[in-house]
Structure 1
């Protein structure tokens, strides 16, 4: 949203609370409320303000008035038989006024409460529906990103197999941590490319909390070249980060997203150029 402040001051949220919007406009408000905490907070403040207004405008008789009202009910015959007709008429009119005012205030408060509860329930239902839609959209977006990644790997593989002689192949062999582990790394200094052959990958599948991380050893120091996952169906050439003057490559198992420095006791494979 370009101008959230203008949107909040436009009055559309008040119209939503009072039910004055079309279905399309209501859906837009609910979508904005789900995306922007400021909009959701403003809606809640409007609802609270409406409830406060209902309460503040309800006539709340004082204890003295309530007592007089109840006493008047028990003594209404005495009031009607008072020697002063004018005084009796005034007392009766006051009694009727308090009676209807008290009932009206309770009715207003009750109806306002029902209205706000219904509005809040509808708003919560809309939040749930929009959350489901956003979840579906996110799943679709993740699938698209996954397919795009597969296409990139295939493109990298074609590039490698079209000119394999241009790449120096480095075979990483398992460490004492994983004696059977292995991985083939393709290195091209002229094209500034480092790729790993996922088809050659021989390492246990990593879980959701961990990823494998490729390191380049440059002047005796490890340099991060990116992370990757080991799956049973891993294929293609995956392009990693590039750095010059590499002396060796190594793979460690790290927390998902990678680490700043390699975890040496989780060294999986290593190979010198």
Structure 2
């Protein structure tokens, strides 16, 4: 045999050993034909035989390092339950060798089974933990969103109250200011019982409506109330407004320096150039 053939032979044996079939043989995971093939190779090649023996030793060491020693009571009960046959008594060496082979092949097999079961259990536990963490994060996000919404609502409420306080303070200032003349407008036949209080400051040419004390029928979306001032018998537009019972404070209207009478009519939304006298709602003289 030349050197090339020798090298090829060694290379084939090395590839056979590294294929993993020897480990499967020791673990008992081969069928009958495959086991026969391994046994034939071990008889033909000492390298295969030596590798099998080393695998058995290594797996046996791993199994022994992971085994759990039973208590004295368990061990004693186990040995008391064992019954030896006559053959085992006559040839204890052979029995011991057979037991050794079984222990070498069985322990590693059990080890891998237990390791796989433990890995599977760990995977399941990890998935459950991840699901729980994800649910917890979602709940936390929802709580944060709810808290942010609550904070925004609270901020809006505080802002609204601040505006209401400002309007109330402004109304008190107007009522206490002697430069303002309060003119009461009473309802006509078109709005019996209606009333509006107009604050008029001729020096500053300011006109305002007391929205808190206002008592007017609620207007629809197509109409608005329009305030007029009669100056030397001529109507002057002072602006439009809506009746909203939730308003407080004074609503500032258009400026005017003099007037003898104030009146309110119901006009199309946006107001009219001239008042619709048929829709006169309230009127009052200064």
Give TM class, smaller chain.
Answer: 0.3 to 0.5
Which has more radius of gyration? 2
| TM-score (norm. length: structure 1) | 0.43
| TM-score (norm. length: structure 2) | 0.41
